[in-house]
A and B are shown apart, each in its own frame.
Chain A
C-alpha cells in the first residue's frame, strides 16, 4: 500500500506509534480474510492480533518495505492455517459432545438457514487448502503468482485448488437453493 515503506522505516527506527498506523491500515482487509478463512470471529481476531505482533517483532525480516502489506498477509495466512488446525481439533472434540446433545434435543426443528449461514456452511465444507485458494483468488483478488508467493504452493496447484473449490461451492450452493 502506498506510504507503507516510510512507516516501516520509522518502526525499524523504534517509533512504535508508526506501527499503530500500519495496524489501522490493514485491520479491515486482513480481518476479512481471517473471518472467512476461520469462520469464527474470535479465532479470526486472535489470528490477526498474533500476526500483527509477530510482524512487529520480526520487522527486520521484511525484505521490501514497500511490500509490507503482502509480507504481513503471508504471516496471517500461516497464522490462519495454524488456527484452523487448532479449531479442527477442537471441533472434533465438540462433535462427540454435540452428538449426545443432538440425541437429547432431537425434538427441536432446525432453523431455516439464511444466505450468510449458507455461505458459511459451504465454505466450512471446503478443505482448508481449497478454501484458502478460493478466498485469495476471488475475494482478495490476488494474481496466481502472488498467491504462490504467499502460500508456497505452485501456480498450477493453486489453479487446480481454485477450480475444485468453485466446483464444490457450486454444488453446495445449489443444494441450499433446492432446500
Chain B
C-alpha cells in the first residue's frame, strides 16, 4: 500500500522535474524593461531636485545618533531623520538620511523609492568625510531602504525598524506622514 503510494509520488516528482518550456520571447521582454528609459527619466528629475542648493538642517535626533556613533567608535552607524524647513508639493515630504561612514569612498541610498538602484541616489560627504547625507522627497507611506557603502557593503539602519524583503540583505523601514 505505502510502497504503491510512494511509486505514485515518485512518478509525480519525475514528471515535475521534466523541463518546462518557457516563451523565449520572455528574454526580449525582460531586456526591453531593463533598457527602458522611463525609470531613468524619473530618477533624473529627482537628481535635479537633489542638486538644488538648500540649507541642510541636522535634527536633534541625528545629532544624538552621531554622538553615540562616535562615542562607541563604531565604523558604520546609519542614522535617519526627517529634514525640516523646506516645503515641497503637498504629497511629498523631504526626508534626510545620514550615515556615519568614515573612510568610505562612496555611499548611496537605495530603497524601494529608487528601485534599489545604487546609481540614482549618491550621498554627499560632509564633516571631513565622516558623515554622508542626502535629502530626498518621499511620498507618504512606508518605504524600505538601506545604505550601500563603496558599492558593496550593505547596511541597514539600526535606529529604524528592520524590513524583510526579496533580496536576502538587511534593510530598514521609514514611515512618512500618518
Identify the A interface with B (CB < 8 A).
16, 19-20, 23-24, 27-28, 31-32, 35-36, 44-45, 48-49, 52-54, 56-58, 60-61, 63, 71, 74-75, 78-79, 115-116, 119, 122, 135, 138-139, 149, 152, 166, 169-170, 173-174, 177
Contact B5 A174 (CB under 8 A): yes
A74 and B20 in contact, given A20-B31, A49-B30, A57-B117 (Cβ under 8 angstroms) = no
Q: Which residues of B lie under 8 Å from residue A122 when comparing CB positions?
A: 12
- The residue of chain B having its C-beta at the shortest distance from the C-beta of A55 within the complex is B167
Q: Which residues of A lie under 8 Å from residue B168 when comparing CB positions?
A: 61, 63, 71, 74, 149
Instruction: For residue B49, give the distance in angstroms from its CB to the closest CB of chain A.
Output: 21
Instruction: For residue B168, give the distance in angstroms from its CB to the closest CB of chain A.
Output: 5
Pair count A-B, CB < 8 A: 114
Contact A53 B34 (CB under 8 A): yes
Identify the B interface with A (CB < 8 A).
5-6, 8-9, 12-13, 15-17, 19-24, 26-27, 29-31, 33-35, 39, 110, 115-118, 148, 151-152, 154, 164-169
A136 to B42: give the CA distance in the assembly, Å: 38
A119 to B169: give the CA distance in the assembly, Å: 35
Instruction: For residue B8, give the distance in angstroms from its CB to the closest CB of chain A.
Output: 5
Q: Which residues of B lie under 8 Å from residue A52 when comparing CB positions?
A: 30, 34
- The residue of chain A having its C-beta at the shortest distance from the C-beta of B115 within the complex is A57
A24 to B25: give the CA distance in the assembly, Å: 10
Contact A58 B9 (CB under 8 A): no
Contact B15 A119 (CB under 8 A): yes
A139 and B115 in contact, given A24-B27, A173-B8 (Cβ under 8 angstroms) = no
A35 and B31 in contact, given A115-B15, A152-B164 (Cβ under 8 angstroms) = no
